[in-house]
Amino acid sequence: MSTGSDATSTGSAAHDGAAGPLAIAAVQCDIVWEDRSANLERLAVKVEAASDSGARLVLLPEMFATGFSMATDVVAEGPSARTATFLRGQAAARGIWIGGSFACRLADTDRPVNRFLLAGPGGEEISYDKVHPFSYGGEDEHYSAGRSVVTAEIDGVRITPFICYDLRFADWFWNAATATDCYVVVASWPAARQPHWRALLAARAIENQAYVVGVNRVGSGGGVAYAGGSVVVEPFGEVAAEAGSAEELLFASIDPGRVADVRGRYPFLADR
């Protein structure tokens, strides 16, 4: 069993829940295959709509600028190149937090990483590199694996991001549980295994007594079909919001008080 977590913030299983709810928006969208310009142009409109509707945190799917491509010579870019600049610019211009993953080429690795970048309105920045490249699809042959989990705090809500295939590895979620109010899973999860997506997101929420926000794409790319199904699951397993199979903005509130209440009434984490 793989283990490890280097969370940037810590806390007890029963977080005090002093913060109020955090308004989030999951952008479920199609992605034009390997066309960064087209995708960023389309997403700017969607991010504006999400922000205008009151979202404080806006979440985009895995590799939102290019699609889940193994052609790293085409899609990979530096940590300060166009996709990262887009996220930073949207955060600053709209006064929001925004995150999604992209193929990021680093100076100290021979292969790029699949990086989730979370940008804040005041220039804050947190990055997480996908720990589990999708070997079934050859991702491990083209991308380097990340090594640790990170947790960011947004308006008092503790957010731990993961990327797609990570969802299958429950121990990594467990290790971050006491420092997490909400897990975010951005994905390019294929339609062929859509029931797994829904079941695993619910399982991660119930077993860790935390919110889980799954953000998936729709459409097709690289010969793979995607069925969306973005969802927000609450700490006791209830579905707070769920998208269909078309492009959609999915809205929900993440309440750390709800996490504290569930963990206080049912202190299951202490028995691990």
Active-site annotation holds for 62 = yes
184 alpha-carbon distance from chain centroid? 4
* The token pair that represents 260 in the structure block: 């504290």
Q: How far is CA 185 from CA 19, 93, 214, 268, in A?
A: 22, 25, 5, 23
Residue 80: Cβ-neighbour burial (10 angstroms; 0-12, 13-18, 19+): exposed
104: annotated active-site residue: no
Instruction: Select which of 77, 104, 130, 234 is catalytic.
Output: 130
Annotation marks residue 164 as catalytic: yes
Q: Which two tokens stand for residue 44?
A: 């700017």
Q: Which of 104, 164, 182, 234 is catalytic?
A: 164
Which of 62, 77, 139, 248 is catalytic? The answer is 62
Distance CA 82, CA 3 (A): 33
The residues, ordered by sequence, that sit 6+ positions from 93 with a Cβ below 8 Å of its Cβ are: none
List of residues 6+ apart from 7 with CB closer than 8 A: 149, 150, 151, 160, 176, 179, 180
Which residues are marked as active site?
A: 62, 130, 164
